[in-house]
Each structure stands twice: as structure tokens, then as C-alpha cells.
Structure 1
Amino acid sequence: MPDSRTPRIPRRHLALLWWLIALSLAAGIGWREPMPPDEPRFALAARTMVDTGDWLFPHRGSELYAEKPPVFMWLQAAAFVLVRDWRIAFLLPSLLAALGTLWLCGDLARRLWGRRAVRWAVGGLFVCLQFALQAKRGQIDMVLVAMTTLSLWALLRYLLLTPRAWLLALGCFAAGLGTVTKGVGFLPLLVFVPWGWLRAKGRTRLPAHPSVHALAGVGGFLAGVGTWLAPMLGTALASGDPALLAYAREMLLRQTGERYANAWHHVQPAWYYLQAMALLWLPGSLLAPWLLPAWWRRARRLDPRVVLLLGWSLLVLAFFSASPGKREVYVLPMLPALCVAAAPLLPGLLRRRGVRAALWAYLAVLALGALGAGAWLAGAPVERLLALTRDRGLDAGVLPHMGAWLLALGVMVSAVLAFALRSPRRRLAPALVVATALLWTCHGAGLLPALSPGASAQALMQRVGRRIGPDAELALLGWREQHLLQADRPVVDFGFKRPLATQWTDAGRWLQADPARRWLFLDAEALVPCLDRAKLVAIGASNRRRWLLAPGAAWIPGCTPSEDAAPAR
């Protein structure tokens, strides 16, 4: 399908693009701790796997963690086994997944459109804000995107180019493995819907696909799903352990079908993703007024490449829009497919005056926004800075430090903008890539490391360790994952999702068993009358909550927490 006469892109240009992308995505790895949301939870579960050897059933403290399958945590734990540094290991899977996704997009664009499309697919995906934002987070979603893109890469090659059974098996295996990474990993299989529609229209020549290949697809999907599902179910059923059986039910029923059809959080209107894509897919979303008509013209000609890429993306958008629960990251798997579909159109679009004006304006806003925010943070009154940092556990000096980084970013992007505008050919595309690389380099090497001690609760838990001394025992109540992760010693917890009243009963017994050596770390909002408030120690704030330390002597003898002393978590 691609034009073999397409001129070859100089290798040095592609190599420079790859180095720029890789260095900016890797900037700051190993320089910060896991920070909410989600990062401490996954890192804690991965660390527990390494410490206990139980890789099949992830734990959050003393409880089973039954909200996500363990595949992503396996990757983090395996990364730690290789590098022996959790500050690198918790981010390494996302970084490698992002680089793999970029390569898959470039390779698929080459196969569909020719060599010239490679840099446009890769660069177009990189400059969209949400892609790099997720690539630099220790969350599941970037790994899910890599699996989704791998599945599409194999399935589109099978359906459009080379009908070989191994490609179908690989595509379905990646979809199955994605399903046990995060429940929606099966979505690449929806590509068979627009393919079936094209076959029914009968106006487009497509390769012949032997029916027997379906067995390879089914086998591949079952093998992918079975990577975790088979041993988990086998172990849970064989053990007869009520906790493991409850874990299996939670994972297979509540966290899949019920979470989609009857979401209990992140409820948003049906049009929510349109606004999310308009903002998070900048600057790519600025091209929508020109891309959409061009795509429509190609789709009307029944170009199978466009029909499958865009048809699949629309099905994914419809799937997520139908659920009441919505998060902006859910639609991220669409972005690589759309960038591949846009790749052959971008060279022509970037010659249009309206497109160039919109993208130059984006760069100008990026530069001015960084300069303005940096100047404000660097020069704001101390009282104002304290008001912003007090409840977050941040040192007041953090914000001026971040302001200096933002000022530097604004100056550098301004320089890139000025140089590009004054160059003879006004090279807009390289300016976008360089400015984006500068943005994520500053983000990773400067902004997040500055936030890390406070946002990760590292500074808070260091204060706790100093206050109670090295020989004391520590327990947590009303805690979050970052507190257990950052504790400087083995700690006791009384559950995470158990009713707090029940946790208080257990905590009281624990404190009274050795009141001279035992301390309880707790959320100030979870206090019960059984503690003598005069003996409590305010240890600081973090993540917009106040935290206390209660020595064993603070427990009032004979006091029993009532069942309604604290709400269920």
C-alpha cells in the first residue's frame, strides 16, 4: 500500500528525533519518590511482591489489593530485581512502554504510508501533552497503551498487509495480556468491526484470510488472559481460602462489569471526553478543523487504512462515553492510532497558513505561560506561598525553586520560537518537538523532584521516625499507601478498607500491649474519644490532611471505641 517511491528520510534526522524524545522522557527518572495518585499504591504492592515472594495476589499492607490485576506491578517488581533501586524501578515500565509505543507507531506508519510518515507519526504522538505526561508517571495506563498499540500493530498488519496466523495470534495475545493488565485491554479486537463492514461493502480489495486462522486468534487471546487469570483462579479455588475467593470475585465481577456499567466514582457527562481531548491532546487537537475533513474524504473513498484506524478510534470513544464513570486517561489508547492516521496528512497541513498560525500561537502561549507562572512563583509574597504549601506538606522554598525552573523553561521555549521564526524556512515541526522536549525535561528533572519530598510523604515519615526514635514500634491508622511505603521501619496496620471503628479496637489492644514503646500514626480526622488529646503530637500536614502521633500512654484505660466512632472507609 505505501508508495515505494517515497524519499528516504536521512538516518541522522530520525536518530536525532529518537535521542531527543528518549532523553526528555527519561529526564528525572530516579530523582523522585512515588507520588499520588496511584503511584505509591502500585509501588507498595510491587515491593511487597519482592519482599514476600507472593507475586500472584498483590497486597496493600495486610490486605489483598483487589482493584487492579498485578501485571503492571509484576513489571515494576521485575524492574527492581534488575536495577535494585525503587526510584528507578517504579517508573521504568512506563518509560519503556512509551518508547515501545512510539516505535510501533513509526513502524506501522511506515508499512501503511511509507518511510516519510515515520517521523510524522512519532513526532506527532510525542508532542501531544497527554502522551508524555503518562510516560513519566508510574501508573498502569502507559503500559496498557503499549499493549493496545502492539495489538493494533499486529492486527492491522494481518488484516491489511500480510495475512499470517502469527500476526493474528500476537495481536490477540497482546489484547488478552492487556485485559489482565487493565480490564479494557480487549478493545483492540474492536478493529474487526470496521474490517467486517469493509468486507460487507465489497468495494475494497483486502487480503484473503483463511478461516482456520481464527483458532490462532482465539488461542492467542486465551494465552494472554491466562497469563494471570489461570494461576490466580486455580490457586484461589484449590485453597478454599475465603479471602482469596473474595479477591477473585471482586476482580472478575465488581472491578470489571460493575465498574463499567454502574460506576461509583468519576461520574461525568457523555461529552466529557471531547473537552478532555481538546485540552490534553494539545497541540494535536488544534489541527482538528483541518484533519477531520481530510479524514472524511479518505474514509468516503473507503481507504481501508483510514477506515480501520478511525473506525476503531470511534468505537473506543463510544465505548468509554457510554459508561457513567469517566477519566481522561481512559481514551489515551486512541491517540497512537490517530497519530498514525494523521501521519501522511501532516506535511501538507503544516504548509497551510491557518495550521501554522495555530501552532505558532501554541508555542507562544507555552512560553508566556511558563514565564508568567515562573515569575509569580519566584516573586510571590511569603505569606501567599505558605498558604499554598501548608496543607500539602511542602517546604515554602519549593515554590520559588519551581518558579526558577519555569522561568528557565519559558526562556528556552522563547529562544526556540524566535530562532524558528527567524530561520529561512521557519521550521515549525522541529520547533514543536524541541519545545516539547524542553517542557518534559524541566518537568522531570526540576518540577517533580522539588515536589517529591512533600507530595510523596517522604519528609513527613522522616519526621515521624526522628520523633519516635529508632527503637520504637509504629502502627498506622487511617493511612494512605505513601505512608506505609515511606516508613523507615517495619510497621503494623489494622487494615485499609476495614471499618475504622474495627481498626480502632485492634489499635487499642496493640497500644496497650506495650505502651512505652508503641506509637500510632493517624489521620487527625479519624480521632476517637479513647485518646487523651493532651498527649497527642501534631507531626505535620501532607496531601491536604493533618497527621498525628499517639504514644501508647495516650490510650485511656478501659475505653472501648463505639461502632459509630468513625465511618467506614
Structure 2
Amino acid sequence: MPNAIAAFLDSLPETRRPRLVLIALCLLLWLPGFFTLPAGDRDESRFAQASRQMVETGDWVRIRVGEEERNKKPAGIHWAQASVVTVLEATGLGSRADIWAYRIPGLLGALLAVVATFHWGRALVGRRSAFLAAALLASGMVLVVETHIAKTDAALLGLVTVAMGLFGRAYLTPAAFTARQAAGFWMVLGGAILLKGPIGPMVPLLTGLTLAIVDRRAAPRGLLHAPWLARLRPGWGIPLMLAVAAPWFIAIGIATEGRFFADAIGGDMLSKVGSGEEAHWGPPGYYLATFGIAAFPASFLVLMALPSAWRDRLRPASRFLLAWAAPSWLVFEAVATKLPHYTLPVWPALMLLAGGWAMDPLRRPAPRWLFWLAAAALCGTVAGLALAAPVLFWLADGGADLWSFLLLPVAAAMIWVVMRFARAGAFARAGLAAVLFAVPVYWLVLGAVLPRLYAPWISPHVAALLERSAPGVTAGDFGVLGYAEPSLIFAIGRELHLLRDAPGAVAFLEGAPGRVVAVADRQEAAFRTAAAGLRLRELGQVSGYQYVRGRPVVLILYRVEP
């Protein structure tokens, strides 16, 4: 291995401006596809459309998609998204029709998480290890994907990381923990409640309970030993946390006559706990089994670091990080609904454990079987991406694309370099090399391959066809039968009519001159039968792949000839 490469990798954690370097790294990893990927189905388009309607209606209390109430999550992310859109429109830098505008709060939250991991991680594992941990976090596949989806999880990660960083300071140095820091801790948790309800406070709560139990052995006569608890000032801190979130909860309770709480708690949260919501079920152990892919390429080091972290659990820093990660992870494993991003709030702790292990010159080597398991996760994931890209292009669009084939040499180089460092025992270099190789991988996948596909992006193509074939038709004069994805509402407008059946589509066409309907191929026969007495004109059609349902679809646009 050329000495120059090794010297460059060794110099990164020693940089004089680590935060600027980490921010630049984050932008290199996250900006590919950020502006060019269309709005995705279903959650991203639902969140973005609800925020767009806040801007359009001026109602910043109720959350709606079209005319339907969306009583699932609090309004925090919608406020952030609507605020960004308002600023962009005021400065002329963007508009409410740009999906990337709604992704900015998530990207900023992820950026906050990376910088906070480094900032507070220094006291836990040291400066160089914290730098490596922050870089590993930035490159994690699920986090990279979440920065491209306009919803809550990347923003929540940022607030949870800040809160846990302050908690870690209170645990390690309680005498130096100030009232101002305690106020920041509780206010950040209040903001987390406004983003995703109880998930944010759950992480420090489980961490605190775990620490109180394991530290009890060190207390005289088995008494509670938690000096950090008094320094967090829960007596006035918990009311402060609730005061941050309570005004909106009171307002939404009044505005919806209590429906928000019935839907959010009974219809959303409890359904996720008891059953796999929207077919997202997974057995206990799902997150452990998929971590090698979800946290690629960081999982390579995390898996090897875990045995050593457990052996070092008597060290306060290791004990805190394990208490941060383990109980919340077990809760996520127990919940019936499983999605890869649910475990993100514990990732900073895992990355700090990995960074501390990789940078430790006296580290205990991982078992040989675990080394090869971690290597298989790294090599298998990047090889799978490299092979899947051209196959995806062929399956989706029936052709080949040069950009998709460029992943093959990048993947081969990544495997060769990283594994050579790892087999030599230079795990810090291997981790940083994996992070740097992730940059061209994500540039090709998110910046070149996915935006160039045609079949998955049905809604933007329908909007473009409508503008070409029926200029001047507004969303209120456009109806859709057999295709109700929220991305179409975002692309066309909230006045779009989602039609239930063929007679309803015919009645909509006859309701006013100049109206247009889009009919899915599965409903076309029934529609033509119901419209037998009309002079229909076909304006064009859009063929694509409805990936949330796993099936192809064709939408045909019709209007009535005068």
C-alpha cells in the first residue's frame, strides 16, 4: 500500500479544523441526488405535502394531506420544512414545488448529529476516535438515505445526539455540569417530542435506568448511586421539556377535538408496537441481522468492536455508551413494526465504541470468525450495490446505462484497499478508507443511477404530460382513478381529485368543461364502459413501476371532446 495513502488517512483525525472537515465530508456523501431525486412514496411525499399545505393555508397547527387529516406525528418537522420553504421563496432560491427544500431540515439534523458525535465524543473516547466515529456515522447507508427523504428521522437523530452528549457529560463529570447545560438537555428533548413524540425522551430514559441499575453495585448498602441525576435537575427540567412541546399539543387537541391523540396513539403508535404496520413486520433480531447492510460501511468496525466494548464495560465511558445503545436497541427489536431507520438514535454510541476500538493501540483483536463476518458484510454490500445497479436499470427501463457499470471498479477498489488495511491490523485506516470510498459509491447510486431511471418516477411524468397535453388545467380540474400515491398530490396540487370508481370518474369529467382524468390500466375497461356515451380523447399515457405495490402501472389521460 503506498505510504502516501496511509499518511493521508492518518492525518485526517489530526486535522486542525475537524468540524469543517466533517461538514465537507458530509456534503460529499449526502448531496448526490439531494436535488435531483424526485419526491418518493409514500412517507416523503406525505410529509412534504403536509408542510406545503401549511405554507399555502397559513394553518400551522393542523396537519393535512389534501383534505385528509394526518394525525400521526407532531408538527415539529412540518414547522421546520415550512420555515425553510418560506425563507427560500422569500430569497428566490427555491419554491414550495421543490422537493429538495423539504429535505433540508433532515440534512441539517444529520449534520448536527455528526458534529455532536465528534464534539461530545471527545470526552468519551478521545479526539481522534471521536473524529473517526463521526465520519463513520456520516457514511452509514441508512443515514445517507434518510438525508434524501423529507421526514423526521434524520432531524430526530440530531436532537437525540445532542441530548445524549449532554447526558454523557453529566454522567462523566457531574460536578462540572451546569444548570445551563441541564436546561439545554431538557429543551432539546422537548424539541424531540415535537418531532416524533416519545422516541426522543425514551433513549435517555432507558439509558438512565440502565446506568442506575448497573451503578448500584458501587453504592454503599445497595443504595441508588446516580449523582448525574441531580445535576440534570429533573425537578424543573421535566416541566421545561413539557413546556416546549405542550402549546402545540394543546392547540392540536382543541383544533381536532381530540382526534389527533386518538389517531396518533391508538392508530399509529400502538399499531406499530403490536403488529407490523403497512406490512413492515419483522421478527426480533431483524436489526441485528440487517445491521451489516444498514450501517455500511461503518458496520465493518462496529461489529468487530462490540466484544471489546463489552469487556470494557466497567470503564465509565464504555458503560455509558453501552447503556445508550443496548436497552433502546432491545426495545426496537421488541416492537413488531420494523424499519431500518428506527435504530438510528443509538448509532452514535455504536460508532463511538467502534472509533475507540479502532484507534486503541492496545485493543483486543476481534475473534477471527467475527472479523470475517464483518468483512463479508462490507464486501457483500458494496458488491451487491455494484451488481444491482445495472440489473435495476435493465429491469426497470429495459436498457443499459454506462454510469451503473462504473460501480464495479469502484467496488473492487474499495474491497481491495479496505481489506488490505484491515488484514494488516490498521483498522482506523481501514475505516477511514471505507468512508472515503463510500463517496463515489453514493455519488454513482444516488446521483447518477437512481435519478436517471424512468419507471419509478410516475408522478412527475404524469405532471409533465398534463402540462404538455392540457396546458392551463389546474389541479382542481384533474382527477385520478386507480393511482392514489401521495407523490402525485405533491406533483399536481392539493386540489387534485382522487376518484373512487369508474362512474365517479365519468361524473367528474362531465362536471365541468376541460377537465382531465388519469385512469390506471386496471380500471380502464370499467371506465370505458361507464363512459360509453362520451366522446373521449386520449391525451397520452405514462408507463412506470409502482414500487410501493411492486407492480407495473400505466396511466392514460383522457378528456371529453366538446
TM range (shorter): 0.7 to 0.9
TM-score if structure 1 supplies the norm length?
A: 0.79
| 1-structure distance, mates of 2:504, 2:75 | 29
Aligned to 1:249: 262
Q: Unaligned regions of 5+ residues in structure 2, if any?
A: 1-12, 547-551
Please give the alpha-carbon distance, in whole angstroms, between the structure 2 residues aligned to 1:367 and 1:314. 27
Residue from 288, 292, 306 that aligns with 1:274? 288
* Partner of residue 321, structure 2: 309
The Cα of 1:545 is off from its aligned counterpart by: 2.5
Q: Which residue is equivalent to 2:407?
A: 406
Partners in 1 of 2:411 and 2:231 — Cα distance? Answer: 57
**Aligned residue number for residue 512 of structure 1:** 510
What's the offset of the Cα at 1:13? 6.5
CA distance 1:215–1:480, change in 2 (3 Å): same
In structure 2, the CA distance between the partners of 1:536 and 1:420, relative to structure 1 (3 Å rule), is farther
- Pick which of 171-180 and 136-145 moved more: 171-180
- After superposition, give the CA deviation of every residue in 1:292-334 in whole Å (9 maximum; x if it has no partner): 32122122x2x23222321232211222222222222211211
Is contact 2:136-2:431 (8 Å) kept?
no
Structure 1 contact 190–315 (Cα < 8 Å) conserved: yes
1:108-187 aligned at under 5 Å gives the runs 108-161=120-173, 162-183=176-197, 184-187=199-202
Is the 1:76–1:90 contact (alpha carbons within 8 Å) kept by the matching residues of 2?
yes
- CA change 1:160–1:430 in 2 (3 A) is closer
Contact 1:476 1:493 in 2 (8 A): yes
Structure 1 position 101, deviation (Å): 0.3
Q: Aligned residue for 1:435? A: 437
Report what 1:328 is aligned to: 340
Whole-angstrom CA distance in 2 between matches of 1:359 and 1:464: 50
Q: 1:475 aligns with which of 479, 499, 503?
A: 479
Aligned-partner SS, 1:539: strand
* Shift, 1:363, TM fit: 6.3
Q: Give, as a single letter, the amino acid of the residue that structure 1 aligns with 2:554.
A: R
Question: How far 1:475 moved relative to its partner?
Answer: 2.1
2:446 is aligned, of 444, 447, 461, to 444
Deviation of residue 524 (structure 1)?
Answer: 3.7
- The CA deviation string for residues 259-308 of structure 1, in whole angstroms up to 9 with x for no partner, is 42355432222222221223312344344664232122122x2x232223
1:90 Cα offset (Å): 2.0
Partner of 1:564: none
Mapped to 1, the partners of 2:560 and 2:74 lie a distance apart of 38
1:220 match = 240
Of 292, 296, 308 in structure 1, the residue corresponding to residue 306 of structure 2 is: 292
Deviation at 1:117, TM superposition (A): 2.3
Distance in 1 (CA, whole Å) between partners of 2:386 and 2:347 is 29
Pairwise CA distance, 1:102:
0.5
Deviation per residue, 1:129-184 (Å, 9 max, x gap): 22222223323211121122122122222233244333333323333332332232
Tell me the secondary structure at the aligned position of residue 547 of structure 1. Answer: strand
TM-score by length of 2: 0.80
The code of the aligned residue for 1:222 comes to: L
CA distance in 2, matches of 1:173, 1:195: 22
> Please, which of 340, 351, 355 is the counterpart of residue 343 of structure 1?
355
- CA distance in 2 between counterparts of 1:477 and 1:167 reads 55
Aligned counterpart, 2:530: 531
Deviation, 1:218, is 1.0
Measured against aligned partners, the alpha-carbon deviations of 1:370-398 in whole angstroms (never above 9, x if no partner) come to 654566678xxxxxx3xx23xxxxx555x
Range with greater deviation from structure 2 (210-219 or 220-229):
210-219
Q: Deviations over 1:335-379 (max 9, x none)?
A: 11211233321223889595887777766556655654566678x
Match of 2:330 among 309, 318, 331: 318
Q: Secondary structure at the match of 2:480?
A: strand
Aligned to 1:565: none
| Structure 1 residues 412 and 290: alpha-carbon distance in aligned structure 2, compared to 1, 3 A threshold | closer
CA distance in 2, matches of 1:425, 1:345: 11
The residue type equivalent to 1:115 in the other structure is: R
Evaluate the alpha carbon distance shift between residue 375 and residue 146 of structure 1 in structure 2; reply closer, same or farther with a 3 A threshold: closer
1:488-519 Cα offsets, whole Å, 9 max, x none, are x7743258xxxx36xx67655433222x4112
Deviation digits for residues 104-130 of structure 1 (CA, Å, limit 9, x no counterpart): 111121122332322122123234322
Separation (CA, whole Å) in 2 of partners of 1:81 and 1:453: 32
Mapped partners of 1:357, 1:13: distance in 2? 32
Percent of residue pairs identical: 21
One-letter identity of the residue aligned with 1:186 = P
CA RMSD of aligned residues (A): 3.7
> Is contact 1:45-1:60 (8 Å) kept?
yes
**Contact 2:32–2:446 (CA under 8 A) maintained in structure 1:** yes
Contact 1:317 1:331 in 2 (8 A): yes
Aligned to 1:47: 52
Instruction: Give the direction of change, closer, same or farther, for the CA distance of 1:52–1:277 in structure 2 (3 Å limit).
Output: same
Aligned to 2:553: 545
Work out the CA distance in 1 between the residues paired with 2:490 and 2:303: 47
Distance 2:150 2:509 in 1: 35
More deviation, 223-232/464-473: 464-473
Figure out how many residues of one structure are paired with residues of the other and give that number: 516
**What's the secondary structure of 1:517's corresponding residue?**
coil
Q: CA deviation at 1:445?
A: 2.3
Q: Tell me: CA distance 1:288–1:474, structure 2 relative to 1, closer, same or farther (3 Å).
A: closer
1:110 maps to a residue whose letter is R
Provide, for residues 459-488 of structure 1, a one-character-per-residue CA deviation record: whole Å limited to 9, x for no partner.
23212333334357312344211112222x
Give the corresponding residue for 2:6.
none
